Amino acid sequence: MDCKTMVLDWLREHGADGLCEPETECGCGLDDFAPCGDGPHPHCKAAISRTLVEIGGDGGPGDKAYFVMPNA
């Protein structure tokens, strides 16, 4: 088992939707995990996702934003 698989398994077990890096406002979902490279950046945090429509932002119905998961 590689590190990427271990991180994905942990995120799923804890109910996370993906990762986010709050300082750079970067986020990714479990279905498009860590597109920035071979794995998560060291500052990434477990995240929950919300559609932009849910948070009153601009974007299509499927566009998502990722936020640090409480208690993660």
Query: Can you give the pLDDT at residue 30?
Result: 92
Q: What is the 3-state secondary structure (H, E, C) of 14-63?
A: CCCCEEEECCCCEEEEHHHCCCCCCCCCCCCEEEEEEECCCCCCCCCCCC
pLDDT by position in tens, the chain (length 72): 888 899 899 999 999 999 998 888 889 999 988 887 756 678 889 999 988 777 766 766 678 888 999 876
* Predicted local confidence at residue 45, as pLDDT: 92
pLDDT value at position 72? 64
pLDDT score at 6: 92
Give pLDDT, residue 1. Answer: 80
